[in-house]
C-alpha cells in the first residue's frame, strides 16, 4: 500500500538567552481539534515547497518572526492522528536564532513564552512528551520516530538516532 501522509513542519523557537520556548496555546476556536493544547509552531507544507521554506513561512505567518538558524532535530511519522485519523510526516526543528518581535497571538491562539523546564507540565498532546526532550537535547544526532495514536492517546512509539 502506498503511504501518502500529510507532510508538515513543527518548530520550537527558543528565546535569545535560551531558557524560554515560544509555544502556541490553541485557545481561540472551540471547534479546533487541538483546542486547549499547547504546541510548537508549524503546519502543512504547500505544493512545491521544501521543508525549510515551509518552516520559515509558518514562523512568519504564526509568529511574525524570521528564522536565522534552524536545526532539524528529527522526523516523526504519526499514524491515525487527528480529526480524520490521517498519517502525518513531520519535520521537527529547533529555532535558536531569529529576528523580529513575536506576535502575542494569532488566529489559532495565544503565543506564550514558557520555561523550557516546564514544557512537559503543559497540556500537550500526550505523545509530545516522548520526543520533546530530544528536541532540546545536546546530543547532535537526529531522531526519526514512529508514533501510532488511538483517539487522543499514543499507543506506540519507537525511534532511531542517527
Query: Max Cα separation, the chain?
Result: 47
Give residue 46's domain range.
6-161
Flag residues of the chain having pLDDT under 50: none
pTM above 0.95, yes or no: yes
pLDDT of residue 1: 80
pLDDT of residue 74: 98
Rounded Cα distance between 103 and 112, Å, is 9
pLDDT of residue 84: 87
CATH of the domain at 74: 3.90.79.10
Residue 20 lies in a domain: yes
Q: Tens digits of per-residue pLDDT, 85-107? A: 899 999 999 999 999 999 999 99
Tell me how far CA of residue 9 lies from CA of 17, 29, 117, 125, 148, in angstroms: 24, 21, 23, 16, 18
Residue 86 lies in a domain: yes
pLDDT of residue 18: 83
Residue 131 lies in a domain: yes
Contact 128, 58 (CB under 8 A): no
Residue 1 lies in a domain: no
- The rounded mean pLDDT for the chain is 96
Residue 139 lies in a domain: yes
- Look at the chain and report how many structural domains it folds into: 1
Rounded Cα distance between 67 and 63, Å, is 11
Amino acid at each position: 500500500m502506498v503511504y501518502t501522509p500529510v507532510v508538515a513542519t513543527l518548530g520550537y523557537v527558543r528565546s535569545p538567552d535560551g531558557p524560554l520556548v515560544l509555544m502556541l496555546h490553541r485557545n481561540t476556536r472551540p471547534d479546533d481539534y487541538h483546542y486547549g493544547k499547547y504546541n510548537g509552531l508549524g503546519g502543512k507544507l504547500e505544493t512545491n515547497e521544501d521543508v525549510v521554506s515551509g518552516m520559515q513561512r509558518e514562523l512568519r505567518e504564526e509568529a511574525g518572526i524570521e528564522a536565522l538558524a534552524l536545526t532539524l532535530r528529527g522526523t516523526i511519522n504519526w499514524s491515525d492522528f487527528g480529526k480524520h485519523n490521517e498519517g502525518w510526516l513531520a519535520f521537527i526543528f529547533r529555532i535558536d536564532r531569529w529576528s523580529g518581535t513575536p506576535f502575542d497571538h494569532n488566529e489559532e491562539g495565544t503565543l506564550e513564552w514558557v520555561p523550557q523546564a516546564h514544557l512537559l507540565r503543559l497540556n500537550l498532546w500526550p505523545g509530545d512528551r516522548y520526543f520533546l526532550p530530544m528536541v532540546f537535547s545536546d546530543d547532535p544526532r537526529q531522531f526519526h520516530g514512529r508514533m501510532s495514536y488511538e483517539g487522543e492517546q499514543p499507543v506506540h512509539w519507537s525511534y532511531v538516532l542517527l
